[in-house]
């Protein structure tokens, strides 16, 4: 049976792998996800998706494809 310490270590490794896969700098992530400036949310509200993608990439270091997919998923979840 896996100990608590082993499970935590395994989960931390999985999170690190996800950060790498998604192109997110862990230094920019807090308990609620990547830090995104107010301008990002304003661009989403104004339906300026290209601007939102650009801001997302700058804030997270994500690739164009990851940023595009993430922003589009956020828009779908918000029902915009």
For the chain, give every domain's residue range: 4-78
**Average of per-residue pLDDT across 4-19:** 88
pTM of the model: 0.58
What sign for the dihedral angle of Cα 51, 54, 56, 62?
positive
Q: 23 versus 6: which is more confidently predicted?
A: 6
Among 22, 20, 25, 21, residue whose Cα is nearest residue 35: 25
The residues, any chain, with a CB within 8 Å of residue 72's CB and separated by 6 or more, are 49
* 25-77 pLDDT tens trace: 665 555 555 678 889 989 988 999 999 999 999 988 889 999 999 899 888 88
Q: Is 1 exposed, middle or buried (0-12, 13-18, 19+ CB in 10 A)?
A: exposed
């Amino acid at each position: 049976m896996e100990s608590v310490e082993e499970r935590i270590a395994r989960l931390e490794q999985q999170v690190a792998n996800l950060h790498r896969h998604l192109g997110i700098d862990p230094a920019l992530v807090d308990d609620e996800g990547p830090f995104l400036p107010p301008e990002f949310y304003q661009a989403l509200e104004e339906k300026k998706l290209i601007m939102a993608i650009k801001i997302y990439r700058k804030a997270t270091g994500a690739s164009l494809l990851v940023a595009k997919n993430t922003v589009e998923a956020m828009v779908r979840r918000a029902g915009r």
